[in-house]
Amino acid sequence: MALDLVLLGPPGSGKGTQAARLTDKYRLPAIATGDILRAEVEAGTPLGQRIRSYLDRGELVPDQLVVDIIRQRLSQPDTEAGFILDGFPRTLPQAQALDAMLAELQRPLDAVLYLETDRQSLLDRLGQRHRQDDRADIADHRIDVFLEQTAPLIGYYRDEGKLRLIDGAQPTEAVAAAIDDVIRPLVGAAQARNPRPTSS
């Protein structure tokens, strides 16, 4: 089966937590652009230093940079059975680039799960983390960046018929159950397209 998913949601909406769970459950690689970018910063390369200036301010890095990262990552064989994108796409040009890439590979997205969460829940959760860019003022700005640059993707994917709304303000387990309800029929459809005995 190939199950291609996007987790969409503001910072603190639980994308990383849910992506990790989906990876365990469905054996699909989670691809988190934030993690990839932070690793580049940690490596201390000139590119990493450039990236850091965006991360530290809570701004998005340029589209081309993340699109190249994703193109390269999706060419790796472990994504053949599917993938979970966490934190990408975050702008309309990124979403369009992703659609073009996947059209070339003849494997359109199966669903975009939007973890809808109110601002206060987000700030509460980000306040419990210890990442540099989770500092209150930067976290607040990242939510604004989400509303300005990423929220338009909600309409974009609704128009494509891909959007699935999940109440992300619920406790983690309830969010996980809501995601499972959405994914179950997709797994069935993916298996029907590409029948192969599975252990689960």
The two three-digit tokens of residue 64, written as one number: 């081309």
Encoded one letter per residue, x for contact with ligand AMP by CB under 6 A and - for no contact, window 152-191 reads: ----------------------------------------
Residue with Cβ nearer ligand AMP (1 or 15):
15
Task: Pick the stretch among 88-96, 101-109, 169-177, 185-193 that binds ligand AMP (CB under 6 A).
Answer: 88-96
User: What are the start-end ranges of the H helices in the chain?
Assistant: 15-26, 33-42, 46-57, 63-74, 92-104, 119-128, 136-145, 152-159, 172-193
Task: Read off the amino acid at residue 38.
Answer: R
Residue with Cβ nearer ligand AMP (94 or 190):
94
R_g (Cα) of the chain, nearest Å = 17
Encoded one letter per residue, x for contact with ligand AMP by CB under 6 A and - for no contact, window 118-137 reads: ---------------x----
182 backbone dihedrals φ, ψ, rounded to 5°: -75, -40
Distance (Å, rounded) from C-alpha 5 to C-alpha 83? 6
Q: Which residues lie below 8 Å from residue 42, measured CB to CB, with a gap of 6+?
A: 48
Encoded one letter per residue, x for contact with ligand AMP by CB under 6 A and - for no contact, window 18-47 reads: ---------------xx--x----------
- Site residues (CB under 6 A) for ligand AMP? 11, 33-34, 37, 54-55, 58-61, 66, 87-90, 94, 133, 142
